[in-house]
Amino acid sequence: MNIIKKGTDSVITVIAFVIAFIWLIPLIWMIGTAFTEPSFSMTLFPKTGFTLKNIIYVWNAVPFKTYYINTLILVTVTFIIQIFTSTMAAYALAVMDLKWAKYVFIIIFMQIIIPNDVLITPNFMTLKDLNLINTKLGIMIPFLGTAFGIFLLRQHFKTIPKSLSEAARIDGANTWQIIWKIYMPCAKPAYLSFGVVSISYHWNNYLWPLIVTNSTQNRTLTVGLALFAKSKEATMQWANVSAATFIIIFPLIVIFFILQKRFINSFISSGIKE
């Protein structure tokens, strides 16, 4: 039995490595192409020498500095507000004895199923009525409340013994102190999971910023990349397009490699509990 189990584990490991390599092929090609001499042909592994000219050219040809600042502002502000709104809602649904909490949670959970793209038209019309088209606030508003964040934190808050908050209440702590000093520190894995998901989603979000913005001052990195890929500077120049893509995804790659172990463990520890 042990031999059969070891053999099965070995086969599963080999299959996992093969699938992982297949998923890595586009990334390998993109990075290799970004740092080699421009060519009109496409090959998996580069055939020309290493160079940084593509990165330098793209950085100077496209206002990536402005796009980076815009994206950082949007991602940071959105995440901070999401943390606040999600924490308050999750605490109310998980800890406070609200009469209709279960039904409210079901409604919030149903929103996770609805794709954001379905809500583009009503959101756009609302922003138009508020004169927030082509503004950073207009990009952020639909995402300041997040059903996924509420769901994830609520599930983790349910695992924290209520006796901790009751003891703190006896010692004179108010609701905000209980949340700040007990629930938020105990839910660090859930916050880390939500942080990675939120930051990566809004960093890579393309369709909504494309629809809402029409000026360089408010465009994000993904919109800037799409416009550059269609420009005459990038026509059929895979090296330039790959270099621009690498500039955009580099921060996310670094963050992932630094936090990958904690990120995976945080999802495992953020189990589902009713």
Sorted by where each begins, the domain ranges of the chain are 1-55, 64-232
Topology (CATH) of 64-232: MetI-like fold (1.10.3720)
Q: What pLDDT score does 79 carry? A: 95
Percent of the chain with pLDDT over 90: 27
What does the pLDDT look like over 174-231, one tens digit per residue?
A: 889 999 989 998 888 888 888 888 998 999 999 999 999 988 889 999 998 888 877 7
CA 157 to chain centre: 22
The set of residues, in sequence order, having a beta carbon less than 8 Å from that of 127 and lying 6+ positions away, is: 133, 138, 141, 212
Q: What pLDDT score does 82 carry? A: 95
Q: Is the pTM above the cut of 0.85? A: no
The set of residues, in sequence order, having a beta carbon less than 8 Å from that of 13 and lying 6+ positions away, is: none
Q: Examine the pLDDT at 264 and tell me if it is beyond 80.
A: no
Q: What whole-number distance in Å separates Cα of residue 239 and Cα of residue 30?
A: 8
Q: What whole-number distance in Å separates Cα of residue 31 and Cα of residue 8?
A: 34
